């Protein structure tokens, strides 16, 4: 028995991270001992960040809609029907977001999961990982039913999917996501088990965790990137009037100078906007706009500013040594907000490693 297990471990698990972004999933899988051969993404702004933190992986700048399976086969020298191969398909999810917004621009990406299918069908990897927003289940235009049917017809009948809240997986953030793991290898496979301990904002942020007190508009040119967006005089007044440790905009709803016209007599909608994080709770979902006080509960629990780039990255479980290779606060926030939390990716990787051994 031991000999069999030892032999199984000789051939390492490999992965290709489609829609890799800045490398959150890649980093987590690599930490689990999986060799991530390549990351593929259409957004070239991610390239330097991806490579700086995942130097053993190749970054392929390509549109999955036009990328050919045979070209990928030659470029990466990968084989079909490889039981040790993992394909990751965490496609852009703005179209399926429950946030009310114009979906015209994001509509071009709603079928990317089906484009991912052509690579699965051609190569038939041993394992598949998918992460997306919960709205992909409920949206009337969702491609998910078609994707499930494809998996069954292609031999991936051992699978589990559900809506996962990352706060139950060691991520200090309430972040609900559709998560799927599938394999064509016959043994049943399951998503990572939930943890009892909840990690809070206090556990990872604040001076005791290496985050110096700073003001809005702080510029940090080091790799730590403790940079914050500036605030208008009016928004600074609003934040100063917002109670520390979890306060909301309702504290100044009756002050004409501070109240926004769109929220007059609308105290029950978008209550997180202009809100502060609470020290002893997980943060709200880190989006691509977490650097703005006006886009959600993204204000520091005590300091009069929004979250810094490094704070947002930390709430996403990127290590403090992770380098975001851009001088643009907006581009860095996009990379961070779109990422799969590396700690959850690590747990997914360990599930597959244990399944193989």
CA-based nearest residue to 130, from 146, 113, 142, 152: 113
| Non-local CB neighbours of 5 within 8 Å, separated by 6+ positions | 357
Per residue in 313-340, is it b (16+ CB within 10 Å) or e — as a string?
bbbbbbeeebebbbeebebbbbbbbbbb
Torsion of CA 67, 71, 73, 76, to 10 degrees: -90
Active site residues: 93
């Amino acid at each position: 028995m031991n000999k069999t297990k030892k032999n199984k471990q000789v051939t390492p698990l490999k992965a290709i991270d489609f829609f890799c972004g800045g490398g959150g999933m890649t980093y987590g899988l690599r930490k689990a001992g999986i060799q991530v051969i390549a990351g593929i993404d259409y957004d070239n702004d991610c390239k330097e960040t991806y490579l700086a933190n995942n130097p053993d992986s190749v970054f392929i700048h390509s549109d999955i809609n036009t990328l050919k399976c045979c070209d990928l086969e030659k470029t990466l020298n990968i084989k079909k029907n490889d039981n040790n191969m993992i394909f990751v398909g965490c496609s852009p999810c703005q179209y399926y977001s429950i946030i009310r917004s114009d979906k015209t621009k994001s509509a071009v990406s709603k079928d990317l999961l089906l484009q991912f299918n052509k690579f699965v069908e051609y190569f038939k990897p041993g394992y598949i990982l998918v992460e997306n927003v919960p709205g992909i289940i409920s949206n009337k235009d969702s491609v998910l039913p078609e994707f499930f049917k494809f998996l069954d017809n292609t031999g991936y009948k051992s699978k589990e999917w559900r809506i996962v809240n990352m706060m139950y997986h060691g991520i200090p953030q309430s972040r609900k996501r559709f998560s799927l793991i599938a394999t064509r290898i016959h043994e049943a496979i399951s998503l990572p088990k939930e943890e009892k301990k909840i990690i809070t904002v206090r556990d990872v942020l604040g001076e005791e965790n290496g985050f110096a007190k700073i003001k809005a508009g702080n510029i940090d040119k080091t790799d730590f990137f403790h940079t914050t967006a500036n605030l208008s005089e009016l928004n600074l007044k609003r934040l100063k009037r917002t109670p520390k440790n979890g306060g909301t905009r309702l504290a100044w709803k009756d002050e004409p100078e501070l109240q926004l016209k769109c929220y007059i007599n609308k105290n029950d909608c978008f209550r997180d906007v202009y809100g502060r994080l609470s020290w002893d709770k997980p943060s709200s979902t880190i989006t691509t706009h977490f650097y703005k006080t006006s886009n959600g509960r993204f204000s520091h629990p005590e300091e009069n500013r929004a979250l810094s780039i490094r704070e947002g990255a930390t709430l996403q479980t990127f290590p403090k040594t992770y380098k975001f290779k851009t001088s643009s606060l907006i581009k860095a926030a996009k990379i961070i907000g779109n990422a799969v939390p590396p700690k959850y990716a690590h747990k997914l990787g360990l599930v597959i490693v244990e399944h193989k051994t």
